[in-house]
Amino acid sequence: MTFNSHLFRPKLLDCLQGYNRQRLGQDIGAGLTVGVVALPLAMAFAIASGLKPEAGLFTAIIAGFLISALGGSRVQIGGPAGAFIVIVYGIVERYGLANLILATAMSGVLLFLMGLFRLGSLIRFIPVAVVIGFTNGIAVLIMLSQIKDLLGLQIVSMPADFFGILNALGHHLHSANLAALLLALASLSLVVGWLRMSRRLAETPYRALSMIPGSIIALVFATLVTWLLNLPVDTIGSKFGGIPAALPSFQWPAFSWDSARFLLMPTLTLALLGAIESLLCARIADGMIGDRHNPNQELMAQGVANFVTPFFGGMPATGTIARTVTNIKSGGTTPISGMVHALTLLAVVLVAAPLAGHVPLAALAAILMFVAWNMGEWREFLHLRQYRMPYRITLLAVFFLTVVFDLTVAVEVGLVAACLTFIYRISSLSRCEAVSRLDHPSLAGHDHAIQAWRLYGALFFGAVKLVEDIEDKISTPVLVVDLKNVIYIDSSGADALMNLIDTCRKKEVQLIVCGLLHQPLDIARRSGLLEHLEGRLAPDLPAGIQRAVSLAAGPDQ
């Protein structure tokens, strides 16, 4: 038995052909830059998810390396993402850390199977309204969850649900820490200000300075101010005891099967969210570098990364837009830059871990606030009036359900709503019209003997009423039905046509079906409908009407 190399072929293998020292230098420079960008984000995402900061770092190291080495994109950077914060926090709160490991590993298996069975392209069929709705909803929840550290509130355990968060914030508002608030506002101002300044620096001889991320500037500033002034604010050291300066070890979770059985929907949500985020990021990267990624290979790489990482203290991972864009703008050309980014973070953990203990949580909260704001597509709310009502309802429903209830529920309802909207739209495009003697003069003089109908669109379960309406209007000895403009028939449509044949037989009406071609002809053959139409078929409408005229003139003609 031979293995098909095209089934699992990382992009790295293709990129190594013709690889030279110049491209290696570009990839190393880009990888170092992305590693610096990923450092504060990885810790912030982990803390916001209810985990220790090293969980984010280990994820960026292990998953980031695997996604780049095995993925289907040249420049995509993998790691922890803001989109996972809400769902991960909910899993940890309800089921515990052990079951988060299990859910993440199971989502990795699902992602790998999705890629193995070539389902990568199907992710593109998820409607934009659903994606925007839950993306904006997640952004709101991230910002809401960071108010605690932004204000320095003394809340021991933050609830996972929307109303619980509001209740906890309201009851502990009196414990706000002015030093934490000022530090957070200063950090946020630095991030925003540096972003604007870097755009100006990019057009000057000091272009290299523009590559330094604002999050690092803010993080270094806040850490130095906290340490020098000995500010009374929570830090990574005071909250989590710092970050271990060692490689993560394998850990087998002592999970409970009683709680694991409830993980099916969270697992599906993790897999679906990871696939959407990853492939959306890869498509954006394609547009920037003029390449085309392999979506199925990317999903398999995501699957491997999410299966391996949680057993080494990590969290769910996916492709990340901000770090991928940074990689491209820094000159990264191959997956090696992503691998260098992971190794850079590994070096930071091994060498500079003790310094992370002085990082204030208020600064990380400010950075996450900035990330969440840029993550949302807020202008879409202003443009809603340009779209039809079903689009508006779907987007707003998914947004509302994501914020108030649960991301899993939001995705389920959003997909159902999108499917129903699609069915309605397609059924409304299908229509039936009577053929008059103005269209076919040969019908003149036979109005009381021949009825002719022409169907358009798709004859599926949402449009079978068109055939039922024809049944109700039968009033002549001969009936002609033209299916030339029907592009698709499903089993319900075939069953409706079978009922029409039975109705005509009972009413002793001669039925002629015209223009049965392509997929409609194939489904008619496979469903047995073609056998019942034997002797009733005509190649096109003119031939069908000519035959109908002969039948109307007399049974012997």
Whether residues 176 and 296 fall in one domain: yes
Number of domains in the chain: 3
pLDDT at 5: 53
Q: Are residues 197 and 87 in the same domain?
A: yes
- Could you tell me how far CA 220 lies from the centroid of its own chain? 34
Listed residue (249, 245, 248, 224) closest to 347, CA to CA: 245
Q: How confident is the model at residue 557 (pLDDT cuts 50, 70, 90)?
A: very low
Judge if 46 and 189 occupy the same domain: yes
**Residue 9: inside a domain, yes or no?**
no
Q: pLDDT tens, 250-297?
A: 888 776 667 667 788 889 889 988 998 898 889 888 888 888 899 999
Q: Which pLDDT score is estimated for 249? A: 83
Tens-place pLDDT, residues 379-402: 999 888 888 888 888 899 989 998
C-alpha to C-alpha distance for 464 and 173, rounded to whole angstroms: 59
b or e along 285-314 (b: 16 or more beta carbons within 10 Å of the residue's beta carbon)?
bbeeeeeebbbbbbbbbbbbbbbbbbbbbb
- Last residue of some domain: 334, 350, 377? 377
- Whether the CB-CB separation of 103 and 110 falls below 8 Å is answered with no
Which token pair is 188?
């946020």
Residues 129-164: tens digit of each pLDDT: 888 888 888 889 889 989 999 999 988 878 878 888
Q: Is 2 contained in some domain?
A: no
Average pLDDT, the chain: 88
Structure tokens belonging to residue 496:
């409706």
Same domain, 422 and 439: no
Do 339 and 296 share a structural domain? yes
Structural domain that includes position 508: 431-553
Find the angle CA(399)-CA(402)-CA(406) to the nearest 5 degrees: 160
3-state secondary structure of 10: coil
Give the domain CATH number at 521. 3.30.750.24
Domain closes at, from 352, 377, 402:
377
Q: Is residue 309 located within the same domain as residue 420?
A: no
Q: Are residues 161 and 116 in the same domain?
A: yes
Tens of pLDDT along 23-78? 899 999 899 989 988 988 899 999 999 999 999 999 999 999 999 999 999 999 99
Report if residue 207 sits inside a domain. yes
